[in-house]
Amino acid sequence: MNSRATLLQSNHAVVPAGQDVKTTSTFSGSKQISPGIQSRAGATSPDYPMKHLIISLIAILLISRMAASQDLVLYDNFEGGLGLWQVSGWGLTTQYSVTPTHALTESPAGFYPNNATMLAATVTGADLTGWMGARLEFQARWEIETGFDFCFVEASRDGSFWVPLDALTGQHPDWQMLVYDLGGFAGLPNVRLRFRFVTDPQVNQDGLCVDDVGVWGLPEDQSGPLIIHRGPAAYQGGSGPRPVYAEIWDASGISQEQLFYRTDGTPFRTVPLDSLAGERYYHTIPAQEAGTAVEYYFRAVDAAPGGHEAFSDTFAYVAGQMLIQDDGLSEDIFEAPAGYRAAVRFARPNAGYLATALVRIYTDAFHPLDSLDLYVWADSSALPGPLLAGPFPFWPDCTPLNPEAWTPVDLRSALLTAPDTFHVGFEFGGSGATLMALPYDTPAAWGRSSADQGSGFAPIEFGDFHLRTVVGGLTPDTLFAPDDLTGAGDGDLVHLSWSAPGPGDDLLRYEIERQGAIVGQTGHLETTWTDNLAGLPEGDYQYRVRARYSTGVSLFCDPWSYHYVPVGVIGGGATPAMTGAAAFPNPTNGMIKLRLGPEFKGGKVAVRLFDVRGREVRSWVLTAAGAGAVGLDLPAQGLRAGVYVLDIRSEGLQQRLKVVMLP
């Protein structure tokens, strides 16, 4: 047999000639039970030869038993090229390898590039038909910018939707075996694998090397079901009841399925099953007031003896109509100094009231941000004008642990009726040495962002800032929407396709939106459409699709964006700061004691406590004798664990402190 990438179809592992594949045992959690038994160095005993013989026989029996109970159904050591893989950016390297001379890497020519997504996916899947369990294992070494660049290890039942198994980042220059449970995919005939390497605008490193990729079929079901759900992107929720479904599979069958949800941090409750169609379980989360934060997850139990349960990730959205003036991709980061203000203009006639703002601002050890202030302005000649509401302090959720996160800021307490055109933005009031990291799109596709660097707001041309708003008071949509919108470019043409919505026999047609305007439609049986961008300028174009029923119209599906290159072109005034105040103990489990700074001269002190979404959760008005006053008790029992912002004001002075509440 030639040394090449081999798809194993037999009942026994087939290994390229001259190559070793180690047979390992099954795993329980993160522990490996090794079949090999080795005596301690230097051990002596009168009956040592007999013990050694017995131990060796036991080891041989264990290895033989495991070899008969599990099979290697897919294996590649990359010695015969990339015939098993479809790659974009990836290639083979001989600089690092395990067996014997080649490995797969995302950057065969050197360090990986900036602002890139590089894919390597198997073109033929592992056939796990008849197996009740499975696992993936491979050798890997990596040097990836910690917390900013990632390689995602993913699996799919058919290549249409990818389930994340791991996110590799950081510095691990030595080879190590990585093992992942694929039990949820057992019994499926075409299980695909993918490595998805994603980089940010700065810092390049050596990247990832992969060798000896193998998928094993196992005889016993020891894992919970596979739960696939396409959750909302960036908190997008919509108005009215929200239909959701999950595809749930297990080789042993499904004995239980549940959907749990909660609103604004209240306890989780269940939602009844609407219908079951094949492997799809349909539910409807009840309608919520605009601005309500909704979290939900799925639970399933298989029909194997004893029952193995599984939980989906927890998904979240904000109820209401979200207004979006960006493409959602952080293509670059602007480092802004203290005093910088940024805003985005929104236009939504008859929107009702302003419920929530969403902001993407990054913070880490090099950009240490405390709370920021969010504001709402009326429009004045397409720039922010008179102040309508604010400040709303908030703490950024976008960190090295979640570098693409959006931060929701609750505006419902302002009871603000949204004008036809308004601006939402924030002010960075940090120290002079601190820079704020502000993600943005580039080039600008919407052209509605502005900034104030000390001389008043002016339009910006280099990109679109990442700020969004949610408004209420709109007609609710209660019908199933299309899903899985994707596309591909072909010169001036853009070919779109999507998945049909849930059950319903009154579907009339699909309507396609480009950049906020309906540009086409198809019949109710057609889930593809082609757009012609000839004559339009180069730029990013965002598409969405909705379903038109005889009873109304659905929400739009999640957007898909395409960067088009035309054919022929290719080739408020500052508040004086109080600096000496302190809160202790910090972290605390409820009671906060406040000490005032030397600038304070005595009198009334207004103190407010905000959560990370900008919601005021406590407030106090105190009287203190003067600077250094201690023992001002702020009872804060009953709050959820997390980070809070303490806002202290008195006689024109202001200071903010970060407080951590313990469980």
The predicted-structure confidence for 114-170, as pLDDT tens digits, reads as follows 888 999 999 989 999 999 999 999 999 999 998 788 999 999 998 888 999 999 999
Q: Which residues of the chain have pLDDT under 50?
A: 1-68, 474-477, 568-575
Q: Alpha helix locations (H) across 70-99?
A: none
DSSP state of 479: S
**Residue 271 three-state SS:** strand
pLDDT score, position 419: 82
Specify which residues 658 forms β-bridges with: 645
* pLDDT in the model for residue 567: 55
Same fold? 74-218, 483-564:
no
Q: Determine the pLDDT at residue 600.
A: 73
The pLDDT assigned to 134 comes to 95
Nearest partner of 443 among 310, 311, 324, 332, judged by Cα:
332
pLDDT for 384 equals: 96
- As a whole number of angstroms, the distance between CA 376 and CA 387 comes to 6
What are the domain boundaries of the chain? 74-218, 226-319, 321-472, 483-564, 582-661
Please give the DSSP secondary-structure letter assigned to residue 575: P
Distance from C-alpha of 598 to C-alpha of 590, rounded to nearest angstrom: 26
Query: For the chain, what's the residue count?
Result: 663
Q: How much is the pLDDT for 625?
A: 72
Please tell me the predicted confidence (pLDDT) of residue 498: 92
* Cis before 587 (ω within 30): yes
- The correct CATH number of 483-564 out of 3.40.1830.10, 2.60.40.10, 3.30.43.10, 3.30.70.2740 is 2.60.40.10
Q: What is the DSSP string of 62-131?
A: HHHHHHHH-EEEEEE-SSS-STTEEEEB-EEESSS-SSSS-EEES-TTSSPPSS-EEEEEESS-B--TT-
Coil, strand or helix at 66: helix
What pLDDT is recorded for position 627? 63
**pTM of the model as a whole:** 0.63
Which pair of structure tokens corresponds to residue 67?
């070899």
Distance CA 498, CA 18 (A): 47
pLDDT of residue 473: 63
Reading the block at residue 653, the tokens are 């002075």
CATH topology (fold) of 74-218:
Jelly Rolls (2.60.120)
Confidence at residue 572, expressed as pLDDT on a 0 to 100 scale: 35
Domain 226-319 has CATH 2.60.40.10: yes
Residue 289: per-residue pLDDT: 82
Question: What is residue 503's predicted lDDT score, i.e. its pLDDT?
Answer: 57
* Selection from 87, 78, 127, 125 nearest residue 106 by Cα: 87
Give the end-to-end CA distance of the chain in Å, rounded to a whole number: 61
**Whole-angstrom distance, CA of residue 315 vs CA of residue 322:** 17
Fold of 582-661: Immunoglobulin-like (2.60.40)
> Under a CB-based contact definition with an 8 Å cutoff, are residues 156 and 192 in contact?
yes
